[in-house]
Amino acid sequence: MPSASPDLPRRRSASLRWALTALAAALVTVLTLAGPAAARGGEVGGTGTAYLLSDTFSTEASTSFVYGRRTDQIYVGDWDGDGTETLAVRRGATFYLRNANAGGAADHVQTYGRPGDVVVVGDWDGDGRDTFAVRRGAQYHVKNSLSGGPADAVVVYGQAGDVVVVGDWDGDGRDTLGVRRGAQYHLKDVIAPGPADRVVVYGRAADATLVGDWDGDGRDTLGVRRGAQYHLKDVIAPGPADRVVVYGRAGDTTLVGDWDGDGVDTLGVRRDPVPLAVEGLRGSGGLTSTEIPTAASGRLTTVAGAVPAPRSAAREVTVRVQVEAGLPVDGATFADVAMDTLNDRRGWGADGSVSFARGTTGQMTLVLASPATVDRLCAPLRTNGYTSCRTGSQVIINAARWAGGATAFNAAGGDIAAYRQYVVNHETGHFLGHGHVGCPGAGRLAPVMQQQTLSMGGCRPNGWPHP
């Protein structure tokens, strides 16, 4: 969550705030609840190493990456106070915190509590940083820093079977607790004895509940999930949802967080990477999974083998093909698909000007890399984790685009095979000396040197120099 200024309340509260099953508590010991619920805590739940996060309420992920182990306990919070929420892995009583939504080593490691403790996450003191609270029975041991040692506060909070949600209900920058009873929510603005400050009915008793600041006004409100559909409310009140969002799959585990620091909570999902059938490798462009990590190893490996140019031409270009280690790709199949594209009769060599051979060295290097590695290799060009580029003799393809195409291209009716043809031919066109051109007119076929990844401009998708 964003850090607070000295005289203004923090814009929103952070923490993963799931209440799918339970934690504990009524805000005072005099609040007793009927009905037990399994102790659960604030962990994300589910299994998997692939995370797909959306910065907007769209059906498409803005960020995807692989992190941790399949069975890790996962939490979400703003651990460093920069306004962006990221993941933490829990193994036993040790928490491994990341300050970026990407794979890689932990930025901070904290040991707190005991391996069997139930844990919730919140900004308990309003300093803009999320920390942990451990629950033991009806007691919460709240920590206001990411360090070991005794709790900063111990709160007695209801009964062990109660279902609890966490949020900043009044926009004061501090997370507090709420009790769910069926479809009724008893929310407290301070962690202290006394009756709930507000009681609201929302959704159905069987709904999975999530909490977030859906409109960026600094107050957390409720949402319910039904399958892959989310009914989100911008005020703490009964009535219809203010927006209904479809995201992910019905079997996904859902995360809530402010992934880009804009003050608005959005959705993410956790799932297992889905392997593609080996016999479908060529159709997948060589990919063995469509789950592309935001960052892989950063190390490029050259695909072995040499293939002569299929025909003579005025110019022969030998291409070295490299793939980044750690990507889910069969390098040989990727190389075959790319070289077939380059030497297609609709390609750059259709006029006899050029033909392409493959070798372990060459005049041109064709690279398939993760978004983070593309950004590094293409700099100072700004690819922003999204586009591909040509720099010098390197033609660098963003693996996320290779897996899923581009929004503008797809929306105009282009399929993934056509996009792969386009991105190889477009970036190779730069290597051959061609610059960008615009759409020649609405409804016409786009020139291959049009920036079709970003906008179609009314043109129809096209991957070929000589269609």
Is residue 170 pLDDT above 80, yes or no? yes
The DSSP result for 419-435, as a single string, is: HHHHHHHHHHHHHTT--
Residue 122 and residue 48: Cα distance in Å, rounded?
A: 24
| Burial class for 8, CB neighbours closer than 10 Å (0-12, 13-18, 19+) | exposed
- Tokens describing residue 454: 């970003």
Asked: is 278-431 a CATH 1.10.3470 domain? The reply is no
For residue range 105-139, list pLDDT tens digits in order: 889 999 999 998 889 999 999 999 999 998 887 78
For residue range 273-291, list pLDDT tens digits in order: 655 554 467 788 999 888 8
Lowest mean per-residue pLDDT among 10-24, 72-86, 445-459: 10-24
What residues pair up with 394 in beta bridges, in sequence order? 365, 391
**Residue 424 main-chain phi, psi, to 5 deg:** -65, -50
**Residue 153 main-chain phi, psi, to 5 deg:** -155, 145
- Supply the pLDDT for residue 467: 93
Lowest mean per-residue pLDDT among 8-17, 197-206, 386-395, 418-427: 8-17
Task: Band the pLDDT of 411: cuts 50, 70, 90.
Answer: confident
Could you state, in order of their start, the residue ranges of all structural domains in the chain? 50-271, 278-431
Residue 125 and residue 151: Cα distance in Å, rounded?
A: 13
Q: Cβ neighbours of residue 266 under 8 Å, at least 6 residues apart?
A: 53, 54, 55, 56, 57, 212, 256, 257, 258, 259
The whole-chain average pLDDT of the chain stands at 86
What residues pair up with 333 in beta bridges, in sequence order? none
- Supply the pLDDT for residue 43: 79
Task: Give the residue-averaged pLDDT of 292-321.
Answer: 94
Lowest mean per-residue pLDDT among 248-257, 278-287, 379-388: 278-287
For residue range 330-350, list pLDDT tens digits in order: 999 999 999 999 999 999 999
Counting residues of the chain whose pLDDT is more than 70, the rounded percentage is 89
Lowest mean per-residue pLDDT among 28-42, 66-80, 89-103, 452-466: 28-42
Residue 409 and residue 386: Cα distance in Å, rounded?
A: 13
Residue 220 and residue 379: Cα distance in Å, rounded?
A: 39
